Chain A
Amino acid sequence: DTEVTQTPKHLVMGMTNKKSLKCEQHMGHRAMYWYKQKAKKPPELMFVYSYEKLSINESVPSRFSPECPNSSLLNLHLHALQPEDSALYLCASSQGYPSSYNEQFFGPGTRLTVL
């Protein structure tokens, strides 16, 4: 099973709302990632969790708050977002991090629109 699942598929929220994105993998991977992707651009790394601990925060604004409840689950909590935060949010997983052989498997993404 090489599947990473993400929910919801689409999300529309106002700037005062609080919402969460969810990601799940059952490949036994110990590293999980959040990326933000704008249309026709490559993904931009936001956070990396390695063995359920936050390894990297790419200077992401505090209105994005990641959480890794266990090795299979990754959440991204959203609060007081701005319209420019509208994007496709991708979750990915890999066997480990850091690694020179960093094959990452991506989920289908959550299309987020902030009004």
Chain B
Amino acid sequence: TQLLEQSPQFLSIQEGENLTVYCNSSSVFSSLQWYRQEPGEGPVLLVTVVTGGEVKKLKRLTFQFGDARKDSSLHITAAQPGDTGLYLCAGVPDAGGTSYGKLTFGQGTILTVHP
């Protein structure tokens, strides 16, 4: 069972278009991170959200954490070819037990922005 459902899995758009990536779960998360990974490199942390309803902006990227802390979204405005990469959401489940502290990853979204 995939705890974090990320969609879409693939996104191919033209430069200048807007896009949104979603990360959904039926479980509550203490925090949620978004990473971007380029081919042959490690994931780079973009943002961490921890408060329900929180919105964070990083230049043309806007990140939102759902009020109930079960979902998150990443919106990119006016995408550029440099935004191309694998986007991963990852979170720490709120419940205790053996999963506490581990990062649970979504399946990833492969974004291609064409010039």
Contact = CB atoms under 8 A, between A and B. Distances in A.
B90 to A, nearest CB: 8
Contacts of B103: 45, 102, 104
Given A40-B86, A107-B42, A108-B42, A100 B105 contact: no
Interface in B57-115: 86, 88, 90, 92, 94, 100-103, 105-108, 110
B11 to A, nearest CB: 13
Contacts of A102: 31, 33, 92, 101-103
A42 B50 contact: no
Contacts, number: 68
Which of the four size classes fits the interface of chain A? Answer: 20 to 34
Interface string A74-115: 000000000000001010100001111111111111010000
B110 A109 contact: no
Q: From DSSP, what is the main secondary structure of chain A's interface residues?
A: loop
A40 B108 contact: yes
Contact of A103 (B33, B40, B42, B100): B33
Contact of A99 (B86, B101, B106, B110): B101
B42 A106 contact: yes
